[in-house]
Structure 1
Amino acid sequence: MSEKRILLIVGGGIAAYKSLELTRMLRKAGVAVRPILTRAGAAFVTPLSLAALAEDKVYSELFSLTDEAEMGHIELSRSADLVVVAPATADLMAKAAQGLANDLASTTLLATDKPVLMAPAMNVRMWEHAATRRNLATLTADGVAFVGPDEGAMACGEYGPGRMAEPAAIFEAIMAALGGGARPLAGKRALVTAGPTAEPIDPVRMLTNRSSGKQGYAIARALAALGAEVTLVSGPTALSAPAGVTRVDVESAREMLAACEAALPADIAVCVAAVADWRPADTSGKKLKKGSGAPEPIALVENPDILATLSRGARRPRLVVGFAAETNDLEAHAKAKLGKKGCDWIVANDVSVEGAMGGDDNTVALVSAGGIERWDRMAKDAVARRLADRIAQEFA
């Protein structure tokens, strides 16, 4: 990676602050970063902060006598192994799709002969607008790769798709595009489950839980970064599929089990999804109405045990990892689950910690027949990378 170079175009938007963390991560990995900061982007991050993290000069003006004499926009556009646009605003996407070139960023995109990766970021209505959808289709047909956007709350107060992908996700997409880093899981197939399941009561109500899917998606992304061919079976979440990962969307536990079995054979299975233990015995075809008295009790039946089924099945993956979300007696419950399910490892997840369900951090312990590894509280992306490295060690 020390010989790889990224040209990073930072567009104008509140998500521009994420470009600073992305730059730090790339430099830590040994990747050189040469930044282009648009005039709008400079309203959100300063050239000084970007230059300090990139350890390189920040370029911004198309008609700069100094910059054109020293580098020139043509050479600038072709001196990198990959051009990354983060955030890729609706304006930058439109210019690139139509071949416009009226500033340094758009001129560079038009002049480059290198691969381009965009991380879109904009208001949900802008992202869903017909013009943006046309531009997205055009850029995709032209060979531009995309990471994100994610779905969630926005600075404008609205909610929906349009949030720029997190720096870790963009970093992994960049590393995959560069073909960089060790790929010890190349040739291995991995199955990851993530998110909640939803068990319908009637057409508008369901039994579900608070799982965001963030940890499972991070693990799928980390395994793909190490070279694995990853199938992500996901319950309902607001997340975008990680780059290079095949996502299968499901809702109920039975649908999730069927999708997992269809994804076999696999070398690795990591069951992160928070699967509902029970489902209504009967589902009403019409909305249940509130009566004058107490509601009728809902009879429940047990859902299939996906982790145990994979662990004890005829096509058992070589390594099966389960998750145990607990609020008390974390390690004791994890040890019991390890024996009951028949899997190889249990990642015991302390969800009594504020923000564990739906947040960005996790406190876990890795439980196996060989003992317990207690990990410090860390970001879910860091947990994912550490777990992926441990998995890779098993296949070394």
Structure 2
Amino acid sequence: MSATRTAPVRPPKPAPAAGAPAPLRLLTFSTLYPSPARPHHGVFVENRLRHLLAGGEARAEVLAPVPWFPGRGRSVPACETRHGITVHHPRFLAPPGLGMYTAPLAVLAAARRVLRRLWAEGARFDAIDAHYLYPDGVAAIRLGREFGLPVVITARGSDTSQLPRYALPRRLIQEAMREAAALIAVSEGLKGGLVELGAPPEKVTVLRNGVDLHAFRPAVARIPSAMPTLLTIGHLIPRKGHDLVIGALPALPGHQLVVVGEGPERAALEGLARRLGVADRVRFAGLQAHEDLPRFYNAADVMILASSREGWANVLLEAMACGTPVIASPAWGSREAVAAPEAGMVLDETTPDTIATAVRALLAAPPSRAATRAYAERFGWDATTAGQIALFRRVLA
């Protein structure tokens, strides 16, 4: 078994006193979960679970199927321990180009094998805590039918905004929403998307993501850079909008940009920086461990999120917790996370020109880093953890 390190979480609380409700026994189920092959994949699912378990009112094992096809991908252990949590990684067949259509049944088959084994060994669960509507939620509903377990599904973003554009995923997503015991949305905007897909409003609970205020905090001694530093963080893919931020630099002479992340668009983004004549002011820092991100937030004067789609962007809270104001696209969750001047600004439209204008305006009269940190402190994990406990107990009642 292997273990990994990341931002600290409060130690588990003592066992409940006599007469207190027994801890919830959850099976957390999602293909969006870190593994040795993809240590940053779905870290937001892991973080929410870790904070939930730290309260002592729930226990969990994780069933995190990983895609596999001959000759592709790195090997992943069948079982590992991450931060004291047992994580099972059954492999499911993911043929290139066909995964959207084969994934629900393939994920179900892989998960079923593990859950049957666990059941035979005496493991018992009260509910399935599923993340992402498709294929995860669809497969979780069928597991729930077979094992007599209620299923709570958390929607995350593109599973609500993008995948339902395709006929088969849309039909299966709607079926899963009907059968789920409850649905969780990470923002009010995302709840609206679920309702548009047919989810009854009363079935959807909004439980936003939180930020670890101990791991993400202002630096004790911050040394300003010679020129204002902009920061953008995320997978280097088109929908993250890194090209728009690079495109703003010609209108921002004397500013530099740090891009944190890796992905298939890196060569194209480097080429764009060269064509625009700003390559000497753009630094590609590559993929960074989650626990190393605070030093990037603290070094930046502004963090920019230019994504076209998000459910709730954790990078906004992480930046603000470090005292760094943000400029955000109008994606779902942005206006809920950035709701005061000390937090930063939300764009009405995301273009190079609007980004450049916002950077100039924000840096002309920046909030104090202490004020930005104070704003972020209202977004700790405690309320989300309490909301999860209440929701699962309501479902089980």
Q: Higher strand proportion, which one?
A: 1
Q: Higher helix proportion, which one?
A: 2
RCO comparison, higher one (Cα < 8 Å, 6+)? 2
Measured against the shorter chain, the TM-score band is 0.3 to 0.5
Higher Rg of the two aligned structures: 1
TM-score (norm 2): 0.36
TM-score (norm 1): 0.36
